[in-house]
């Protein structure tokens, strides 16, 4: 279906997006897409370099008549979130994304689309390849690993870029101009437990699926169900009603995605089968009622399996279920100064219990560093009671808004001029690379914008065709408004 995508307007952008989406580009495995970006710059005869961590930088001189303008950095990240539906057979390491058109939307067949941040990358590629677009001197910065640690932005050294203005193309609402974002930290809790022989004679697999999921920053305020919390709630209730032995739990995947699915295997005594069936049926009705608006396709499935030989000992099971229950998830605090903006949150992204070991992975976000630390400490405390080892990693700073920066007025005025309405100038709860880049380039003015991309970090991800056209026109006009050199 990429041929149909290539016929969309603006064709130059959509063609580069189709080329990009043919290249597997999971976070932490960007070798192929780094080579792709490098070859692209070199094919145009532009100065192209790959820095020490894998970021690709391509320089293009100003178009005729724009030589006296300030250099602008156009920035997007090369990697994409890899999520797929359970019934989708797809190898992200080897296959390109299968795209299709649905009305005014471009979607993918059962997987994430990669519009986050592939549309931004494609737009920059189109500008670099153009011969008729007016633009100032450009430094195109394609970072790596934004989705799983922002190591590309963290590894970007000072002095490599000359531009004093950065346009980040990673915002996902076309009426927003983003000037600040939250920071984050990964909290990973690991531990071991003694496996014992199961006391029951019946094995069951319990599945929770059909949840909406989504971006654990941008969508955390929607109140969508977290599959890990629901599964733990179910197992906690089962363990209080009758004797169950947990053999394994596998829920969620990526740190920055709200978990959509969880699977647990348990062993029970035959005499408890009616209790288990009744309770699961009751909880399914409760969950569907609680999440009827956000997760209308939620389902619980109970199926018989051969009973696993080894299970978690009851003391470890008791402690772990209660620790996960106690662990904060979702909104922790709203920003008091800005209505509707989440200040601090946590996403219980991954729960794995198997073969005598458990791992709980959380992504904690906040625009206030002290509160981020406080929430991370609360999570750690809950799991330290089980004897778990706590590891903090992947910490990145928030992006402090500078509302008086000249580029913000330029972009706001331009939006009003083009679309006859005011843009929403705001900060977001998601993580953007601007805060990290700003540590190495403190004098750089930054702003982020982009087209409507909904359902990011989930197989429901989709990019609005009409909005991409709006974004493209806005981007091109913004290049004409870059100020002259002082």
- How confident is the model at residue 247, as a pLDDT? 98
- Write down all domains in the chain, each with its CATH number in brackets: 2-182+398-480 (3.40.630.10), 185-396 (3.30.70.360)
338: Cβ–Cβ under 8 A, 6 or more apart, which residues?
426, 427
- How confident is the model at residue 226, as a pLDDT? 98
Cα 177 to Cα 59, 173, 325, 408, 463: the distances in Å are 25, 9, 37, 8, 18
Give me the active site residues, please. 79, 146
DSSP codes joined into one string, 186-252: EEEEEEE--EEE-S-SEEEEEEEE-----BTTTTGGGT---HHHHHHHHHHHHHHHS-EEEEEEEE-
The tokens describing 212, both together, are 């909406």
Q: Which of 53, 71, 84 lies closest to 152 in space, CA to CA? A: 53
- How confident is the model at residue 132, as a pLDDT? 96
| Buried-exposed string 436-449: b where 16+ CB fall within 10 A, e elsewhere | bbbebbeebbbbbb
- How confident is the model at residue 339, as a pLDDT? 83
18: Cβ–Cβ under 8 A, 6 or more apart, which residues?
2, 5, 6, 99
**Residue 383, φ and ψ in degrees, nearest 5:** -90, -20
> Quick check: 264 and 246 in contact, CB under 8 A?
yes
Which residues of the chain are modeled with pLDDT < 70?
A: 1-2
Burial class (CB in 10 A: 0-12, 13-18, 19+), 158: exposed
- How confident is the model at residue 394, as a pLDDT? 87
Inter-axis angle of helices 406-419 and 465-480, to 10 degrees?
A: 130
pLDDT in tens, 84-96: 988 899 999 999 9
What are the residues facing 50 on neighbouring strands? 56
- How confident is the model at residue 431, as a pLDDT? 85
- How confident is the model at residue 148, as a pLDDT? 86
Q: What's the pTM?
A: 0.81
Q: How many angstroms separate the CA atoms of 339 and 457, rounded?
A: 25
């Amino acid at each position: 279906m990429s041929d149909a995508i290539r016929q969309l307007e603006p064709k130059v952008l959509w063609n580069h997006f189709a080329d990009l989406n043919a290249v597997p580009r999971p976070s932490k495995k960007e070798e192929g897409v780094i080579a792709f970006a490098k070859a692209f710059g070199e094919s145009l005869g532009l100065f192209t370099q790959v820095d020490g961590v894998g970021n690709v930088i391509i320089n293009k001189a100003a178009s005729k008549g724009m030589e006296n303008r300030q250099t602008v950095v156009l920035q997007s990240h090369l990697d994409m979130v890899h999520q797929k539906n359970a019934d989708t057979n797809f190898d992200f390491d080897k296959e390109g994304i299968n795209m299709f058109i649905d009305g005014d939307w471009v979607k993918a067949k059962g997987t994430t689309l990669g519009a986050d941040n592939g549309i931004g990358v494609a737009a920059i590629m189109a500008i670099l390849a153009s011969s008729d677009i007016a633009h100032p001197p450009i430094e195109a910065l394609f970072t790596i690993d934004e989705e799983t640690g922002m190591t590309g932005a963290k590894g970007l050294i000072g002095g490599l870029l000359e531009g004093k203005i950065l346009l980040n193309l990673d915002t996902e609402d076309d009426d927003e101009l983003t000037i600040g974002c939250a920071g984050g930290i990964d909290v990973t809790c690991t531990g071991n437990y003694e496996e014992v022989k199961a006391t029951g004679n019946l094995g069951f697999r319990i599945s929770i699926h059909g949840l909406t999921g989504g971006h654990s920053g941008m969508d955390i305020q929607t109140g969508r169900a977290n599959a890990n919390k629901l599964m733990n709630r179910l197992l906690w209730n089962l363990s209080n009603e009758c004797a169950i032995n947990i053999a394994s739990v596998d829920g969620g995947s990526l740190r920055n995605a709200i978990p959509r699915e969880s699977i647990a295997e348990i062993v029970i005594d035959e005499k408890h089968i009616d209790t288990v069936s009744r309770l699961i049926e009751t909880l399914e009705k409760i969950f569907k009622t609680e999440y009827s608006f956000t997760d209308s396709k939620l389902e619980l499935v109970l199926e018989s399996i051969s009973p696993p030989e080894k299970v978690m000992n009851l003391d470890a099971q008791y402690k772990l279920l209660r620790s996960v229950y106690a662990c904060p998830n979702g909104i922790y605090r709203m920003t008091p100064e800005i209505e509707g903006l989440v200040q601090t949150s946590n996403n219980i992204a991954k729960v794995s219990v198997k073969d005598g070991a458990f791992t709980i992975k959380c992504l904690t976000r906040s625009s206030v560093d002290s509160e981020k630390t406080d929430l991370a400490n609360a999570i750690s405390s809950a799991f330290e009671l089980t004897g778990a080892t706590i590891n903090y990693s992947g910490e990145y700073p928030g992006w402090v808004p500078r509302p008086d920066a000249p580029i913000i007025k330029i972009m706001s005025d331009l939006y009003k001029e083009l679309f006859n309405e005011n843009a929403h100038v705001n900060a977001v709860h998601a993580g953007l690379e601007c805060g990290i880049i700003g540590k190495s380039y403190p004098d750089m003015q930054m702003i982020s914008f982009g087209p409507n991309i909904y359902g990011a970090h989930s197989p429901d991800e989709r990019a609005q065709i009409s909005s991409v056209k709006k974004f493209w026109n806005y981007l091109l006009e913004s290049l004409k408004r870059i100020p002259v050199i002082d």
